[in-house]
Amino acid sequence: METLFPNAMSQAVRDAYRRGEDDETLNPLVLADPSGKPVGRIKRGDVVIFYNIRGEREVEISRSLVEGDFHEFPTAGPLGLHYTTMIEYSKDLRAEVAFPPEEDLEDTLSEVLSRRGIRQVKITEAEKAFHVTYFLSGKRKDPFPGEERIIVPTRKDVKLFDEAPEMSVGEVADTTMREIREGRHDFILTNFANVDVVGHIENEAAVIRAVEAVDFAMGRVIDEARKSGVPVLVTADHGTVERWLYPDGVVDTGHTSSPVPFVIVTDGAPLDIRREGELTDVAPTILELFGIDAPGCMEGRSLLKSKPPKPTRRLVVLILDGWGHNPETEGNLIARANTPTMDRLRSLYPFASLAAAGESVGLPSGTVGNSEAGHLHIGAGRRVWSDRLKIDRAIESGEFFSNKAFRNAMAESRKRGSALHLMGIVSFFSSHGMMNHLIALMDMAKKECVGEMYIHAMLGRRGEMPESGANYVKQIEDKCGVMNLGRVVSVIGRYWSMDREENWDRIGKTYRMLVYGDGVPIKVTG
């Protein structure tokens, strides 16, 4: 494929749309010279800045680039890169970190329960394991004493989950019900992943099936809990498909700023609760149900209007991932689905809506929620300011441009006479990164007199308008032209580049694009 130079890659993305591809699963596009030789590949001794945030989907590709003994798929061997990441993706990753984590988060829900000798188990399928373990535990990898984690395998026989909207929800429900019956744990927390995962795919029928599958699984678990006399707390981490349409009617597959539901199912008289709150109120509520005083660092308030008649000995918590609350029915796929369990809960028990976006979960005002922030705040019981907010503030104050890790990377590029590669998601807003972070790095590279700069763009459709990726790539190409520095040399869908389930065939595809130039060659003729 040949094209003129200035907007070569954005035009190539538009051409891919015409072939039926989309941003999320876009196959690799690689800039090439007129002879077909790939331009801007990552070579030995180069400098790489991976500017994504969040981190759990960034570890696998990073490992393949920096580990000399990496063996999950064939590589070019040790590359000797100077590798910098925006935040810490893993303590084990050999990289300089621009915005390292602050102090460990103490006195989270899991830690308090552990300290009081309450045996706990967290159950989810692998697609959400990182959220239910790492983020819900205050960014702690290891289980607390008395904590067990049960990870149900996520299906790998489908490309996207609209082919199987039920995912592994049946096995997750079965596991939860077994734990209720066996009585080994006092606190059982289960995540049903379907609504969030399938909701990122533009397939309305599949989304409705996912909603109905979660509602059915929730009903089974609640019925089992009631047989054993165990109360159940139902909530969610953020919204998704309850606002399926933009105002102009275009489908929005991203997260939303909606509140989320909160219901406590008990035998006997329903517990009286406040009708509004925030996700930070969940942990103090759980502790009060157990008769435990919340630690002083928990800023959230229990949603119970009065203490329960007696402390509970056991509790089941169900997190309906991505299940937002929207009283309007227009464009609301949850309202369109058949949800007899949730309908029954709302008719029999007091119902609250909890803020799950923006500043209530440590994000900038007016922004949508996400699974990371949602689970973190459910477990923390206090506001934890996000990496994104810290980085945005650093850009506004100018501190970003004197960041030691970034300055080291750019100085190393000059010293080595090697290229600087900026790699990450290209999006107006993603929980994994933003355009303004990339643009700030580009401005800094110009100021720091970097000689060669190449940009490797990852695209996704989550929360974006259809075919928005091409527009974002064009903005970056235009910026390169104005600066007279840099070129967009690779574009790929995040499906291939941002994995966390050890789908090494996907990551291998991204590696080969970055290092060897494997992909659709976009030859420039001008």
Q: Are residues 377 and 443 in the same domain?
A: no
Identify which has the larger pLDDT, 469 or 423: 423
Side chain identity, residue 9: M
Return the DSSP state at 131: I
Confidence check: pLDDT of 4 > 60: no
pLDDT surpassing 80 at residue 135: yes
Which of 235, 229, 223 has the alpha carbon at shortest distance from 192? 235
**Statement to judge: residues 232 and 166 lie in one domain:** yes
Give the domain CATH number at 221. 3.40.720.10
Average pLDDT over residues 141-152: 96
Does 1 have pLDDT greater than 50? Answer: no
313: its two tokens: 């000995």
| Whole-number Å distance between alpha carbons of 81 and 280 | 41
pLDDT at 331: 95
Q: Quick one: three-class SS letters along 23-61?
A: CCCCCCEEEECCCCCECCCCCCCCEEEECCCCCCCCHHH
Question: Across the chain, what does the average pLDDT equal?
Answer: 93
pLDDT digits (tens, 9 = 90+) for 466-481: 778 899 999 999 999 9
Q: How high is the pLDDT of residue 374?
A: 97
- As given in the structure block, the two tokens for residue 219 are 């009903």
Q: Give yes or no: residues 422 and 306 share one domain.
A: no
Based on the domain organization, do 129 and 209 belong to the same domain? yes
- Is 33 in the same domain as 179? no
Percent of the chain with pLDDT over 70: 97
pLDDT at 462 (0 to 100): 65
Query: What's the confidence (pLDDT) of residue 364?
Result: 85
Q: pTM of the prediction?
A: 0.77
Longest Cα pair distance anywhere in the chain, in angstroms?
A: 78
User: Which residues have a Cβ under 8 Å from the Cβ of 176 and sit 6 or more positions away?
Assistant: 123, 188, 190, 221, 224, 316
526 falls in which pLDDT band (50, 70, 90)?
low
Distance CA 270, CA 264 (A): 8
**Does residue 45 contact residue 418 with C-beta atoms inside 8 Å?**
yes
15-22 long-range CB contacts below 8 Å, 24 or more apart?
Answer: 16/520, 17/467, 17/470, 21/493, 22/461, 22/466, 22/467, 22/493
Q: Coil, strand, or helix at residue 4?
A: coil
What is the structure's pLDDT at 132? Answer: 94
Domain shared by 220 and 245, yes or no: yes
Same-domain pairing of 226 and 302: yes
- Closest-CA residue to 435 (of 419, 411, 459): 459
Residues 53-95: tens digit of each pLDDT: 877 899 999 999 999 999 999 999 999 999 999 999 988 899 9
Question: What total number of domains does the chain contain?
Answer: 2
* pLDDT tens-place string over residues 205-254: 999 999 999 999 999 999 999 999 999 999 999 999 999 998 888 888 88
Angstrom CA distances, 321 to 122, 162, 215, 492, stand at 14, 16, 12, 27
Does residue 366 or residue 491 have the better pLDDT?
491
Domain stops at, among 383, 412, 438: 383
**Of 366, 383, 400, which closes a domain?**
383
The domain that holds 482 is classified in CATH as: 3.40.1450
The residue out of 338, 365, 383 marking a domain boundary is: 383
Residues 79 and 129 in one domain: no
| DSSP H/E element including 445 | helix 435-447
Which residues on adjacent β-strands are paired with residue 83? 48
Q: pLDDT (tens digit, 9 = 90+) per residue, 262-295?
A: 999 998 889 999 999 999 999 999 999 999 999 9
What are the pLDDT digits (tens) for 96-111? 999 998 767 999 999 9
Supply the pLDDT for residue 31.
97
DSSP letters, 95-106, are -EEEE---SPPP
Confidence of residue 362 (pLDDT cuts 50, 70, 90): very high
398 and 357 both lie in a single domain: no
Domain residues for the domain of 14 are 2-100+389-524
Query: Residue 411 has what pLDDT?
Result: 97
In a shared domain, residues 148 and 220: yes
**pLDDT above 90 as % of the chain:** 82
Residues 496 and 350 in one domain: no
pLDDT confidence of residue 429: 66
My answer on whether 374 and 515 are in the same domain is no
